[in-house]
Amino acid sequence: MNSASVTRFADRLLRARTALEQSSVDGVLITPGPDLQYLIGYDAVPLERITCLVLTSVSAPVLIVPRLELLAAQASPVGALGIEVSTWDEADDPYGLIADALPAGSGAYGVDDRMWAAKVLGLRGAMPHRPQVVAGAVINPLRMRKDADEVTALLQAGAAIDRVHAGIPQILRAGMTEAQAGSLIGELILAEGHTRVDFVIVAAGANGASPHHEVSDHVIAPGEPIVIDIGGTMPGGYRSDSTRVYCIGEPDAQYRKAYDCLQRAQAATVAAVRPGVTIGELDSLPRQILAEEELAEFFIHRTGHGIGLETHEEPYLMMGSDLVVEPGMAFSVEPGFYLPGRYGARIEDIVVCTNDGVVSANNQPHELMCLN
């Protein structure tokens, strides 16, 4: 591993330790998942045998692994970071080992937000007198503020999914099913540099009124708006997520008018992103613009979500949130409208707040894409 990566993870561990000092918990326990990947670069597969990073503010980090995972752990940045690795054997009680690695006492400890329930309960059994909380309160504020490398990774992911959207006009044909279109789009997601397809939503006509519709046997017909929301994981673990609306031929005039309003709402919200604006203000802005066409009541979800090593992470663009946007925060801006039984629309870009404004990871045209 190069020294730049060692420095990056060492810096994250230091920031986590500082956050722990300022928190009320004695330590956090991190099992395989995005937090572990973020903190030490170890992309371990979650298995029934527990692997756990023990982070405290008073002692050096320890990674506790089943003996058979030792070589895999050492092959990760853990070795270069000089993190102590402690193994347990099949007959050992790993929860007791983890409990011993925490500072003595009866203080609370955090479990990572994605920890399996069986492990959460195993830990509770080993430390019945200590309160459990979620570690996210300590870790999420770190992950929410992306460093320069992470911003680069998100911009690369955005460019990759933009190339997929650019290829969709060559794929979509009237008479194919959503599922057929979806499988061709999935192949393109991999061909354009992702290592994994995370989701492919092809929602034509009335299916567009369900924001998380995936694909179906519905046959795409001319004149139907088709909401296409796609995303994947890049080699470094960072995610893409972008939505555009297509149509074979022309939608009806009423849809066109509603879509134009949505496009204005999305553009105005992206333009409003800068340091100092609150998340709540960003959530309400598209609602005000959609209200001009009486569409606000049909915008039934939050305006966006953070993105990084997970597709959905903090900050969530929620109504009323006082969280202040800072440089390095990365999130989607994805207003939509959903009219049950009729149609839907959503326009989605990933944006990053910069020192003086915003940069968009997605740069495909936002206009309704009408194909012949």
- Kindly determine how many residues on this chain lie close enough to bind Zn ion according to the rule CB under 5 A: 5
Minimum CB–partner distance for residue 305 and Zn ion (Å): 6
Query: In the complex, what is the shortest distance from the CB of residue 287 to Zn ion, in angstroms, rounded to a whole number?
Result: 17
Identity of the residue, 159 or 174, whose beta carbon is nearer to Zn ion in the bound complex: 159
Cα–Cα distance, 368 to 298 (Å, whole number)? 19
Strands (E), 209-348: 225-233, 242-248, 304-306, 313-317, 330-333, 336-339, 343-346
Question: Which H/E stretch holds residue 102?
Answer: none
The residue range among 31-39, 50-58, 153-161, 243-251 that interacts with Zn ion, by the rule CB under 5 A, is: 243-251
Look at the chain and count its residues: 372
Can residue 310 be called a binding residue for Zn ion (CB under 5 A)? no
The secondary structure element, H or E, covering residue 64 is strand 62-66
For the four alpha carbons of 202, 33, 38 and 314, in that order, the dihedral sign comes to: positive
333 near 303, Cβ under 8 Å?
A: yes
Query: Is residue 207 involved in binding Zn ion (CB under 5 A)?
Result: no
Q: Is 349 in the site for Zn ion (CB under 5 A)?
A: no
| Residue 332 interacts with Zn ion (CB under 5 A): yes or no | yes
Quick one: 241 or 293, whose CB is closer to Zn ion? 241
Q: x-or-dash pattern for Zn ion, window 96-115, by CB under 5 A?
A: --------------------
- The owner of tokens 């992950």 is 143
CB distance 56 to 20 below 8 Å: yes
Q: How far is the CB of 268 from Zn ion (least distance, A)?
A: 18
**Out of 69, 241, 283, 293, which residue is the one contacting Zn ion (CB under 5 A)?**
241
Spatial contact of 352 and 363, defined as CB atoms under 8 Å apart: no
Q: Say if residues 147 and 32 touch (Cβ distance below 8 Å).
A: no
Q: Tell me: does residue 229 bind Zn ion (CB under 5 A).
A: yes
Six token digits for residue 265: 């709402």
- Main-chain phi, psi angles of 177, to 5 degrees: -85, 160
Cβ distance to Zn ion smaller for residue 15 or 301: 301
263 binds Zn ion (CB under 5 A): no
Nearer to Zn ion, 69 or 314 (CB): 314
Q: Which stretch binds Zn ion (CB under 5 A): 128-136, 171-179, 190-198, 238-246?
A: 238-246
| Residue 148 beta carbon to Zn ion: minimum distance, rounded to whole angstroms | 23
State the residues that interact with Zn ion by CB under 5 A. Answer: 229, 241, 243, 332, 348
